[in-house]
Amino acid sequence: MENSGLRGLGGAGFPAGRKWKSVAAEPAPRLLAINIDEGEPGTFKDRWYLERDPHRFIEGALVAAWAVCIDEIYIYLRDEYHGCRAILEKEIAALRKNPPCKLPPVHLRRGAGAYICGEESAMIESIEGKRGMPRLRPPYVAQVGLFNRPTLEHNMETLHWVREILEKGADWFASHGRNGRKGLRSFSVSGRVKKPGVHLAPAGITVKELIAEYCGGMLDGHKFYGYLPGGASGGILPASMGDIPLDFDTLNQYGCFIGSAAVVILSDKDRAGAAARNLTKFFSEESCGQCTPCRVGTAKTLTLIGKAKWDQPLLKELSDAMMDASICGLGQAAPNPVLSVMKYFPNEVA
Amino acid sequence: MDRISTAQAATMPVEFKLNGRTVVGRSDETLIETAKHYGIDIPHLCYKEGMRPDGNCRACVV
């Protein structure tokens, strides 16, 4: 698992093998919490795989449970995915009836519509029956997690790849990749392309390559203008920067990141500023409200960018406070759309 | 080396730099408390001595 280089595919990108090692080193009982909240706007890869091959992530979960000596498994499912819930209920029941191995108890828990419950510690709070407010870390979830037990938390797709990596070997996964990057990525592509959807492509592919080779090109009458490389949190880049390899660590120098690989394509019929307003409104509504920088910062940002001319120094100062002091990734990443527009689409907001 | 008790470990001195000056705190003490001993009042809103620290106003982030 370590040699494959597999990193978490929900957004944070923590090395999977290393996480297994760290939880295995903690005292029993240990729990596994599987995150299928899939709340990052533009992301639908988990749903795609769940609808077509739910057994693969379950198999990955059972392998992880065996390797890390897990006592109980909790699956947290986005409640809007009721079709997937029917599938999962049926398959978990079938699994219990005829388990392929010693089966730990498997609990299927429903989300209730909160984006913040996709954050690992807020998800854990939610499973515990409390309000989905992220915890202060340390202690980290691997040491003190669900019901105070050491917890292995994974995005569903990360576990989905365990089986193939074990069958084909660590080198197989790492043998894929483009532009100097390693691995595969399931891109959830939406927006102004002919073929939106989940596209499994080499990590490191550029957005221009992705549009041309996987998405059938731009819609007729639409000219490529910009893109979100990583959902609502990953920033917004212009078409002129469409040759950057899409992977972990490659976008960070531009103030962006790949997150859950939710790529949204904008055309000349769109405005990056309008996208930023949409995303900022989303963050202000989804903020759990626990900490001042995010609760107040997202609302204040929304007010400031509602004006035709943006007060850029004030927005920058506010963004710095949010990125420095927010308790969790929501507040830390919420300024990214606005910062991207100020940096890469200055003509829109001068 | 002699083993120390948990109680002793909690009070072990922790040396660090505060605003460029070397200070010594206890390992069972918070930064706010140590700073106060040295006459530095870290701005805070949600912290109240004697109550569980919640750390959500973020005014004391250093």
Residues B10-49 have pLDDT tens digits of 678 999 999 999 999 998 889 999 999 999 999 999 999 8
The Cβ-side half-sphere exposure at A40, using a 13 Å CA radius, reads 35
Whether chain B has a CB inside 8 Å of the CB on A325: the answer is yes
Bridge partners, A265 (sequence order): A191, A227
Distance CA A10, CA A329 (A): 13
Average pLDDT over residues A35-55: 98
CA distance B4 to chain A (A): 23
Residues 6+ apart with CB under 8 A from A237: A207, A226, A227, A228, A229, A244, A251, A254, A256, A340, A344
- Other CB atoms within a 10 A radius of the CB of residue A62 amount to 25
Angle, in degrees to the nearest 10, between helices A45-52 and A54-68: 100
Residue labelled with tokens 């100020």? A342
Measure the CA–CA gap between A6 and A13, rounded to whole angstroms.
9
Torsion (CA) A164, A166, A169, A171 in degrees, nearest 10: 70
User: Which H or E element spans position A35?
Assistant: strand A31-36
Tokens representing residue A202 in the block: 């080499």
Residues on chain A touching B57 (C-beta within 8 angstroms): 291-292
Q: Give the C-alpha distances (Å, rounded to integers) separating B55 from A1, A231, A246, B37.
A: 36, 29, 36, 20
pLDDT at B2 over 90: no
Question: Cβ contacts (< 8 Å) between B58 and chain A: which residues?
Answer: 291-293, 325-327
Q: What is the pLDDT of residue A324?
A: 97
Position A51: which residue type?
E
Cβ atoms of A83 and A40 within 8 Å: the answer is no
Tokens of A44: 């639908």
Cross-chain residue pair A325–B56, CB shorter than 8 Å: no
pLDDT for B10: 67
Residues B58, A293: C-beta atoms closer than 8 Å: yes
Chain B nearest CA to A328, separation (Å): 11
A134 touches B at CB < 8 Å: no
What are the φ/ψ torsions at residue A226 (nearest 5 degrees)?
-170, 175
Query: Tens digit of pLDDT for each residue in A222-248?
Result: 999 999 999 999 999 999 999 999 999
The interface predicted TM-score (ipTM) is 0.83
How confident is the model over A164-184, as a mean pLDDT?
Answer: 96
B61/A292 Cβ within 8 A: no
CA distance A158 to A162: 7
- Model pLDDT, residue B11: 73
**With the C-alpha atoms ordered A46, A50, A52, A55, is the resulting torsion angle positive or negative?**
positive
Buried b (16+ CB within 10 A) or exposed e, A174-201: bebbbbebbbbbbbbbbbbbeebebbeb
DSSP A201: E
User: Can the peptide bond before residue A139 be classed as cis, meaning omega within 30 degrees of 0?
Assistant: yes
Q: Which chain A residue's Cα is nearest to B56?
A: A291
Please give the pLDDT value at position A7: 97
Closest to A113 measured CA to CA, from A2, A39, A6, A219: A39
Q: Is the pLDDT of residue B1 over 60?
A: no
- The pLDDT of residue B12 is 83
- The DSSP symbol for A135 reads P
pTM tops 0.90, yes or no? yes
- Digit-coded pLDDT (tens) for A82-115: 999 999 999 999 999 999 999 999 999 999 999 9
Side chain identity, residue A136: L
pLDDT higher than 60, residue A346: yes
Q: Nearest CB to A290: which of B45, B56, B59?
A: B56
Where do the DSSP E strands lie in A51-179?
A: 72-77, 106-110, 151-155
Letter for the amino acid at A208? K
**Mean model confidence pLDDT for chain A:** 97
DSSP secondary structure letter of residue B29: S
Chain B positions touching chain A (beta carbons under 8 Å):
45, 55-59, 61
- In sequence order, the β-bridge partners of residue B17 are B22
